[in-house]
Amino acid sequence: MSTLRSIRPVLRRSAQSIRPSIGSGVRGGGKTSVRGYATTYVANSFSLSGSRYARTGAVAVTASVAIAISLYLGNAWQPIAMDAQPQDGEEEEEDEGITQPSGQKLISMQEVAKHNTRDDCWVVVQGNVYDVTDFLPLHPGGAGVVLQHAGDDATEVFMPLHPPNTLEDNLRPDQILGPVDPTTVQPRGPRVLTEDEKRVRNAKEDMPPVDAMLNLEDFEKLAEKVLSKTAWAYYRSAVFYNNEAAWKRYFFRPRVLRSARFVDPSSEMLGMPVSIPVYVSPAAMAKLGHPLGEVNITRAAGKAGIIQGISANASCSLEEMVDAQTEDQNLIFQIYLNKDRPASEKLLKKVEDLGCKAIMFTVDAPIPGFRTLDAPPSAKEDKNKSAAPVGIAQAISGYQDDNLVWEDIAFIRSNHGGRQLNFSPAPIDILYEIRQQKPELLEKMEVYVDGGVKHGTDVVKALALGAKGVGLGRAFLYANGTYGEEGCIKTIEIMQKEICTAMALLGAHTVKDLKPEMVKPLGFIPATA
Ligand SMILES: Cc1cc2nc3c(=O)[nH]c(=O)nc-3n(C[C@H](O)[C@H](O)[C@H](O)COP(=O)(O)O)c2cc1C
């Protein structure tokens, strides 16, 4: 990690909590008018110089995102069955492999099927055969997830959840065995949609245009209808009991008779200009909601001028997101410390080489929390034995170092929280406590907040109390899962309008005009020390 001095780390610590981080030099951004709303707002447009990212130097991803999970989601690659079927007596010859003109042997499905045990496990993904025997104990979701597809084609369950090249990046060259002989692939016939797939298809046909989404709650309601049961369960099953409610306990003290004609919601985060002080919180598995996954979010964040935090468990590769970014877009990468620490160092090096501007270091997920909604499907529900034998959250964890302590990360001074422990304090309550008891901290370091944010007013409350920026996690997953990139852009637009309206009505022209005395808690106030 010492090789990464130029990357600014943001350590994720307390669950659903605030994110203090160390800011540094300020870079200017140009200004453009954003119209089409009652007031003229001035937003920052990025014009960073010297921020082109290196797009080479990509090396292996860690086991963290490798073969993370098996779930049945449909619409994935299926091997093409050729008309010619093997004739009796020809099997032995095929099992030895047909040699292609390139010299590479084709492997028959019959041969693949022989390697179907824990001690000898092959799988086929997108027409290629992989020997994953040695990888079984390393699989984040446990060996069982992979063994369900031992000796068989795992493409359909593998593809929606893994970045491209996951297998190539994590297996030794001798474990990448070569292409399947397509003449040996049994035709599967037309795939019959499950009840859930039919429900999703019908719901998608009924979707209103994106402009019918008036606020983030509209996206959430629609997401529940159009997402697969698996995606909804994973996205929704977080430990946010208190967070959403907590924002509603804080009220404004507006200032009046201050012109509301001009409002500028632009700001800076970690020295980077942002059009609004909202960022994308790193959240895994965007492909569960849309085939283009996190890339949609990258594109939207780039166009709208906000920062994207990329999950270590993203279903797209970092390279894909880097390729999708605009020239002066800023990406931040989130990591968990891997039990295999050199793997984390390797990942950090890659993250730096690919031009990410900071890291968020999540430290509150040494083990996954309980999520009943995201539980493994019962055997009854999963007749095809195609789903993961554990929930998604469980399946993509496991590689995180559960022995991580402060001493290991003494060089990092800031944090980011996940969503593991229920009944942890809500971020706004912690922020308020800091404002009351240690206001000097808010001057010394940048504090970021996320968890349960649904309205521009939530953002404005946090900014007034001293936060530098506010993150949205599920909002982008829902937006992506409903309308893809368009939905993510609409989400940012909605937030911008709501933030500007709240600022104008509070009598704040710029983010700096938002003051702590403009926000007070009513009702329950968390106990103070
Ligand atoms: C489905 C889902 C996946 C998440 N994945 C990650 C992750 O991979 N890494 C991480 O540090 N935080 C992760 N988080 C936590 C988010 O970064 C963020 O703290 C949280 O979503 C904020 O709350 P919100 O969803 O109400 O905005 C995830 C959250 C959700 C809901």
Is the confidence at residue 213, as pLDDT, over 50?
yes
Least confident of 139-143, 179-183, 373-377: 373-377
Burial status of residue 428 (CB atoms within 10 A of its CB: 0-12, 13-18, 19 or more): buried
Stretch among 169-183, 411-425, 512-526 having the lowest mean pLDDT: 411-425
> Ligand 1 centre from 132 Cα, in Å?
30
Is 290 considered catalytic here? no
* pLDDT the model gives residue 385: 42
Model confidence at 415: pLDDT above 60: no
15 Cα: distance to centroid of ligand 1 (angstroms): 10
Nearest protein CA to atom 28 of ligand 1, as residue: 283
Give the pLDDT of residue 405.
Answer: 75
Closest approach atom of ligand 1 to CA 244:
26
Give the pLDDT of residue 91. Answer: 43
For 31-40, what is the mean pLDDT? 26
Least confident range from 3-17, 203-217, 239-253, 451-465: namely 3-17
Q: Cα–Cα distance between 499 and 501 in angstroms, integer?
A: 5
Q: What is the pLDDT of residue 376?
A: 56
Distance separating alpha carbons of residues 118 and 112, to the nearest angstrom? 14
Compute, in angstroms, the gap from residue 100 CA to the centroid of ligand 1. Answer: 46
- Give alpha helix (H) positions in 363-512: 392-396, 427-437, 439-444, 456-464, 474-506
CATH 3.10.120.10, applies to 75-184: yes
Task: At 316, list the tokens.
Answer: 């797209």
- Cα 479 to chain centroid, rounded: 13
Banded pLDDT at 337 (limits 50, 70, 90)? confident
Nearest to 368 by CA among 347, 396, 343: 396
> Is the pLDDT score of 255 beyond 80?
yes
| Pocket around ligand 1 at a 6 A CB cut-off | 12, 234-235, 238, 240, 281-284, 311-313, 334, 362, 416, 418-419, 450-453, 471-475, 477
What is the mean pLDDT of the segment spanning 429-448? Answer: 94
For the segment 118-131, the average pLDDT, to the nearest whole number, is: 95
Work out the average pLDDT over 183-201: 89
How far apart are the C-alpha atoms of 294 and 157, rounded to whole Å? 18
Q: Report the residue among 308, 474, 478 best suited for mutation to probe ligand 1: largest number of ligand atoms under 8 A from its CB.
A: 474
User: In CATH, what class is 2-49+200-337+356-365+414-521?
Assistant: alpha beta
In whole angstroms, what is the distance from residue 69 CA to residue 394 CA?
9
Residue nearest to atom 30 of ligand 1 (CA): 283
Of 290, 419, 430, 458, the residue with max ligand 1 atoms within 8 A of its CB, to mutate for a pocket test, comes to 419
Ligand 1, atom 29, lies closest to the CA of: 283
Closest atom, ligand 1, to C-alpha of 477: 1
pLDDT bin (cut points 50, 70, 90) of residue 477 is very high
For the chain, the average pLDDT equals: 77
Residue that wins the pLDDT comparison between 125 and 413: 125
Least confident of 107-111, 391-395, 454-458: 391-395
Cβ(14)–Cβ(431) below 8 Å: no
Position with higher pLDDT, 423 vs 155: 155
Mean pLDDT, rounded, for 30-36: 25
| Nearest CA owner, ligand 1 atom 6 | 283
* Nearest alpha carbon to residue 133 among 166, 177, 164: 177
Dist CA 369 CA 372 (whole Å)? 10
- Residue closest to 313 by CA, chosen among 48, 61, 523, 14: 61
Ranking 89-103, 148-162, 222-236, 486-500 by mean pLDDT, the lowest is: 89-103
Domain ranges of the chain: 2-49+200-337+356-365+414-521, 75-184
What pLDDT score does 354 carry?
97
Model pLDDT, residue 306: 98
How much distance in Å is there from the Cα of 305 to the middle of ligand 1? Answer: 21
For the residues 326-347, what does the mean pLDDT come to?
90
CA of 311 to the centre of ligand 1 (A): 8
From the list 115, 139, 149, 416, the catalytic residue is: 416
Atom of ligand 1 nearest to the CA of 243: 26
pLDDT digits (tens, 9 = 90+) for 57-109: 221 222 222 222 222 222 222 333 333 343 444 444 445 566 666 667 899 99
Given this model, what pLDDT does residue 169 score? 81
Burial annotation 497-512 (CB, 10 A radius, 16+ → b, else e): bbbbbbbbbbbbbebe
Q: Report how far ligand 1's centroid is from the alpha carbon of 96 (Å).
A: 48
- Tokens 């030794």 label which residue? 172
To the question of pTM greater than 0.80 for the whole model, the response is no
> Would the pLDDT of 295 be above 60?
yes
Tokens describing residue 28? 């200017």
Query: Looking at the predicted structure, is the pLDDT value of residue 143 above 50?
Result: yes
pLDDT digits (tens, 9 = 90+) for 343-368: 888 999 999 999 999 999 887 766 66
Mean pLDDT for 256-285 is 94
pLDDT band at 192 (very low <50, low <70, confident <90, very high): confident
Nearest CA to ligand 1 atom 7: 283
Q: What's the CA gap between 60 and 122, in Å, rounded?
A: 21
pLDDT of residue 188: 78
Select the more confidently predicted residue: 207 or 244.
207
Cα–ligand 1 centroid distance for 242 (angstroms): 15
CA of 10 to the centre of ligand 1 (A): 15
Quote the ligand 1 centre to 324 CA distance (angstroms): 22
Listed in sequence order, the residues at least 6 apart from 23 whose beta carbon sits closer than 8 Å to its beta carbon are 268, 269, 270, 271, 445, 446, 468
